[in-house]
Copies of this chain bind each other. A is one copy, B any other.
């Protein structure tokens, strides 16, 4: 099976397949006389596994760790459990932070009372107010406590 068919069957791009090989997730297949990669069903299964894990939003590093368990089924499995748990904690933290964000955006949107120009727009006024540290609808100034304080920092989305 050439890379095109493999990619089609695994429902991904040939570029992605080659990328996985370079990243060490997919073992390099034998080559034909012309240099073309020659895949078998094992490769397809492995790709399906990777794809499924990616659908669970796992990082390639985590998937790589899982693949080691697949090829070494005799080691203890509690690390697998911890990996999934860690994943779960990340996802739940992300949901919580996005919910905060949602309420902030909703509050912001409510500030626009169909003004006509940007100069009168409540949303923009709120955003500019934030620059003066006066507290805004979405990030109220912490008068009574500091609990919303750190939420005002930039969400750490860097490495999803």
Contact = CB atoms under 8 A, between A and B. Distances in A.
Contacts of A72: 118
Interface centre among A77, A155, A157 (most CB of B within 10 A): A77
Contact of A66 (B74, B87, B124): B124
Interface in A59-107: 66, 69-70, 72-77, 80-81, 84-85, 87-88, 91-92, 94-95, 98-99, 101-102, 104-106
A84 B57 CA distance: 26
Contacts of A120: 73, 77
B84 A109 contact: yes
Interface residue SS majority, chain A: helix
In the complex, which range does the number of interface residues on chain A fall in? Answer: 35 or more
A7 interface: no
Given A66-B127, A130-B52, A77 B115 contact: yes
Contact of A139 (B11, B55, B139): B55
